[in-house]
Structure formats: C-alpha cells, structure tokens
A = this chain, B = another copy of it.
Amino acid sequence: MSDKNLTLDQYRDLAEFRRQIRRFLHFSESVAKEHDIEPQQHQLLLAVHGLPEGVKPTIREIASRLFIQHHSAVELVNRLESTGAIKRQHGADDKREVWIRLTPAGRTLLRKLALAHRNEMENSGPQLARALQLVVRQRRTAA
C-alpha cells in the first residue's frame, strides 16, 4: 500500500507545505502582536466566537477544539480575562461549567484581526493550496 521510502522531491514537497503553514502562522502572530495580544490568545477568541450553532463555550469544549489540555485553556482564559477581552460566566445549568464570553473590547479586537486574516488569505490561500496539492498528489501517485 505505502512505499517504505521517499524520494527527495517528496521531502521537498513536505518541506514546502510546512513552510507555507509557517508563513501563514508567522503572519498571524505578527498581526496579533501588533494588536497587543498573544497569538494563542487570539486563537482562543476566534475559537469561541466561531463556535458552531448550539455548542456551549465551555473551557473543556474550547480546549478540545484547540487540541490542548483543559488546564492550558484555563491559563489562556486567565490571561484573556485579565486583559478584559473575555469574561467568565458560571454555568446556570451545570455549576461546574464556565462559559466564556467575549467582551465588547474582545469582539472589536477579534474583528480587526479577522479582517486582516481575511485579506491575507488572498496571498496565503493560493500558496497553501498549491503546496497542499503537491503533497496530496504525490501521495496518490506514489507506489
């Protein structure tokens, strides 16, 4: 099914794919810091605000969506709360839960960042798509 070796071109395609991801992430980190927010905190804001319909914005849910442990999410929430971008709201139903709510300041901040990202996708989008295509294509035509 899958060959046990890789050609040099396959390494290069993988490297180029990672490079494009890093290019995008580097842009994202720069924009975040220009707006005085740490990159990971920005991503938590986006994850909360971009939650699908009907999903509760709890610590655990967000941690799961960010692929981090719950206590890592707790720390991000602590920092975001201290800067005033979010506030904690204790669960009305289940009192163990903590619901994360963006403050007006948090929403304003996220909107600026999201607009910058939307614009950047005009550059990153095609480059990422191309690099991704090369990796996936090589995968299919291997063997």
Contacts and interface: CB of A to CB of B under 8 A. Distances in A.
A114 interface: yes
Contacts of A43: 18, 22
A67 B26 contact: yes
Instruction: Provide the main secondary structure of the chain A interface.
Output: helix
A15 B62 CA distance: 11
Given A21-B21, A125-B136, A117 B14 contact: yes
Interface of A: 2, 4-6, 10-16, 18-19, 21-26, 43, 46-47, 49-52, 65-67, 110-111, 114-115, 117-119, 121-122, 125-126, 128-129, 132-133, 135-136, 138-139, 142
B118 A15 contact: no
